[in-house]
Structures are given as structure tokens and as C-alpha cells.
Amino acid sequence: MGRGGRAGVVIAVVLLAANLRPAVVAVSPMLSDVRADTGLSSPAAALLTTIPVLCFGLLAPFAPMLARRIGLVPALVAVLCAMTIGGLLRLPEPVVLLFAGTAVFGVAIAAGNVLLPVLVKREFPDRAGTMTGVYSISLSTGAAIAAGTSVPLLLLLDHAWRPALALWALPPAVALLAWLPLLARDRSVAAPAVTEDQWTPLWRAPLAWAVTGFMGLQSLVYYATVAWLPEILIASGSTQERAGYALSVFNLVGIAGSLIFTLTVGRTRNQTGYALSSAVLYATGFGGLLTGHLDFLWAALLGLAQGTTISLALALILLRMPDAAHAARMSGMAQGIGYLLAASGPVLAGAVHDASGGWSWPLLLLGALLVPMAAAGAVAGRDVTLRSPTTIGVRS
């Protein structure tokens, strides 16, 4: 591929990655308005951020099948089309369509989550770690834009939260323009077929389970934080607008975490340090939220942690696998099982809040989950790679 062709792929990857989080992140700053208008309970409202994560888990293993059937680029184009439809479904008044649109978004994002790393492995096999950092930055940027503009947009529309949510159908429609040239030149299926004999050892490999565990636990902590950080800050005395800005800080600083990872991952063969340091940052941020002061500082520390962990989780899928075929299967396994685990985060935190009457116990629970997250990251971060398809060991 020529330099111009690679640049086109990078642009397309960046634009698609930037659309993989706003549909979820944009909801949490508006939860107060949604609940006031619809009468939803805390756990029911949390489903608006949990349904996509459930889709990520339940449908992730099927994404490689879609790519094998219609091709990787056509599958990713379909992802953007589905995102546009999902956004428009959230505009009509019936609450059921709000959940239906959210589910369509979840289905689309599930496929995008799994297949985008495969595209990176196929197109940039020599720079997989760096390119993972690039689209991780795009993930954080898209989330930050959504978090930072949701409340001002809501105020501009006089608290009309339905059109405020539906407007997120526009960015994926724009991103389609960058993908159409790739669709025209796509010449092969991006996720090569992997036989069952090759698939079975992946499930038996401790390394694969370590990657999956880290993906799931960091996602659980992230989505629980995204869902409830504004509510936690409002309960501590912040205004809705300030809480929305703090969520934006959380996501903006996540860009810095992804950028640091991108600039440094190529210099080290062992990624254990990223897992341990991000766990410490998360713990410090949660501890700070318990004090009820310096909300922007704690949001920034949490953002630095989440930017590092998502970059690391995505990079491990590629760095621990020998080729794009195994990366596709590892992506489906890690994100399928991992996001099913993550889906419990927002609902569990909301349920613990309702039971305890405050946010201290939910924060302590998330802090406790950092221990197994760091342990899984330490194992998966070692400089090892899955061996040949017929074995279950690892090699240096």
C-alpha cells in the first residue's frame, strides 16, 4: 500500500474510533433529565449505558464471522450505517425507542470494537502497538467531545434530551465519507478463517484468559465511572454543568494517557508497568472522590488511568497474537467475555448506591476490583506471544 493509501486508512480508523464511545458517554450527563422525564429508577436508567456494553459482550464473538462473510471493510461500513440509524431511533417520544436505539448502537459498536483492531493488525502489522495508541486517542477524544458538549447542548435545546441524543447520529454519517474509498478498493476479507482446531487452544491458553480478564475488569471500572461520575459529583455539591465538565476532563485527560502509551509502547517489550501504574492512578482518583473535594483533579487522575488501560487492553490483543487471524479470535474472546463482565459495572454500582444511600460503598467496590485488574494486566503484559495454532503454550 502506498503512503497515500495508508494515510486514508489512518483517517478512516481515527474517524470510526472516535464514534465508538459518544453514544454511550453522552447519556450519563443527561441521566437526571431522562429520569425526571420518564420516571426511570437508578438501575433502569443505568441500562442506557449498560445495554451497549451487554451488546459488546454478547455479540463480539460473532463480529469475525460477519467480516468473513462480507469482508472487513464492508462490515465496518455497516457499523457506521447502524450507528446513524441507532441515533435517529432515539428521537421519537416512546421510551421503548430510546432503548431500541441504544441497543442498535450497542450492536454496531460491538462489531466495531472487535474488527477495528483486526484492520490495524492487517494494515499495520509492524506498528500494531503504535496504531492501537492512535485509535485509543481517538476513542478518548470522541468520548471527551461527547461528555463536554452534552450538557451545553442540552441547555441550548432547553433540556430537550431526545434531540440532544439524536444529534449523535450525525458524526458516524460524516465518517462514512472516509470509508467509501476504502470500500471501493477493498480486495479481501480482513478476518481470515481460523479453523476450530486453531480456535480451541486460544480458550485453553492462560495468556488469552489474562488478556480477557484485563479487558473485562478495566472496562467494568471505566463504564461504571462514566455512568455515575456526574451523579457522584452532583451528590458532593457540584452543579449539573460542572459535573458534565468534570466528565469531559475525565475523557480529555484520557487522551493524554493514550498519548503517553502511544509514544512509549514501542520502546518496551513488557507492558506490566502500564497495568500497575494505571491501577494506582485509579485508586488515588477513587480515594479522592470519597473526600468530596478537588473534583477536577480526581477526574483527571481517573482519566489518565482509563486512557492508559484501554490503550493497553486493545494493544495486548494484538501484541500477544501472532497474526491477524488469531487477533480476530482474541478480539472476539476478550471483548465478548470482557464486556459481559463490564456490563455489570453501572448496574452494580447503581444498585449498591440505592442500597447504601450514598456513593462511598460503590467507590470502595470499584477500588477493590483494581486488584484483580492489575494482576491480570501483570500476567498479560509479559513479553510472550501465543505459539503456533496447534499448541497452547507461549514463546518469548
Domain containing residue 328: CATH number: 1.20.1250.20
Give the span between the Cα atoms of 58 and 336, in whole angstroms.
6
Residues 207-259: tens digit of each pLDDT: 999 999 999 999 999 989 988 898 899 988 888 788 878 887 897 888 888 88
- Choose between 3 and 205: higher pLDDT: 205
Cα–Cα–Cα angle for 346, 349, 350, nearest 5°?
A: 85
Instruction: Indicate the SS3 state at residue 130.
Output: helix
Closest CA to 55 of 88, 83, 18, 16: 83
pLDDT digits (tens, 9 = 90+) for 118-170: 888 888 877 777 788 888 888 878 877 887 788 888 888 888 888 988 888 99
Distance CA 243, CA 237 (A): 9
Task: Report yes or no: 57 and 338 within 8 Å, Cβ to Cβ.
Answer: yes
* Count: domains in the chain: 1
Listed residue (131, 104, 111, 145) closest to 21, CA to CA: 145
Question: Could you give the percent of the chain with pLDDT greater than 70?
Answer: 92
Farthest-apart Cα atoms in the chain, separation: 60
pTM summary value: 0.77
- Per-residue pLDDT band for 201 (boundaries 50, 70, 90) equals low
Given its phi and psi angles, is residue 187 left (phi above 0), alpha (psi -120 to 50 degrees) or beta? alpha
Name the phi and psi angles at 385, rounded to 5: -135, 145
Show the 3-state SS of 298-363: HHHHHHHHHHHHHHHHHHHHHHCCCCHHHHHHHHHHHHHHHHHHHCHHHHHHHHHHHHHCCCHHHH
- How far apart CA 379 and CA 20 sit, in angstroms, is 28
pLDDT band at residue 392 under the 50/70/90 scheme: very low
Residues 24-50 have pLDDT tens digits of 778 877 887 888 888 777 777 777 777
> Any alpha helices (H) in the chain, and if so which ranges?
3-18, 22-25, 31-38, 42-59, 63-70, 72-89, 95-123, 128-156, 161-166, 170-185, 196-204, 206-235, 240-264, 272-291, 295-319, 324-342, 344-356, 360-380
Burial of 235 (0-12, 13-18, 19+ CB in 10 A): middle
Give dist(CA 314, CA 312) in Å, integer. 5
Q: What are 310-353's pLDDT values in tens digits?
A: 889 988 988 888 877 788 888 888 988 888 888 788 888 988 99
User: In which domain, by residue range, is 15 found?
Assistant: 3-395
Residue 160 has what pLDDT? 87
C-alpha cell at 335: 471483548
Please state, for a pLDDT cut of 90, what percent of the chain lies above it: 31
What pLDDT score was predicted for residue 151? 81
Q: Which amino acid is at 129?
A: G
- Confidence check: pLDDT of 193 > 50: no
